[in-house]
Amino acid sequence: MHPVAFQTVATDGSARAGIATTANGSYTTPLFMPVGTRGAIKYLSADDYDALGAQIVLGNTYHLMLRPGAETIAHLGGLAKFAGWDGLTLTDSGGFQVFSLDPRVDDDGVTFASTYDGSKHRFTPETAVATQQLLGADIQMVLDVCPPLPSPPDVVRLAVERTSAWAARARATHMRTDQALFGIVQGGISETMRSESARRTVDLEFDGYGIGGLSVGETRSEMVPALAAAIEHLPADRPRYLMGVGDPASLVDAVDLGVDQFDCVMQTRLGRHGTALTSQGRLNLKRIEFALSDDPIDDTCACTVCARHSRGYLRHLFKTGEPTASRLASIHNVAWTIALMDRMRSAIVAGTFTSLRDDILSVWG
Report strand pairing: 208-211 vs 180-185.
parallel
178 as an active site residue: the answer is no
Residue of 92, 247, 256, 260 marked active site:
92
| Phi, psi (deg, nearest 5) at residue 303 | -70, 165
* Phi-psi map region of 276: left, alpha, beta (phi>0 left; psi -120 to 50 alpha): beta
Catalytic residue among 48, 253, 260, 263: 263
Q: Is 294 a catalytic residue?
A: no
- Pairwise CA distance, residues 1 & 122, whole Å: 25
Q: Which residues are catalytic?
A: 92, 263
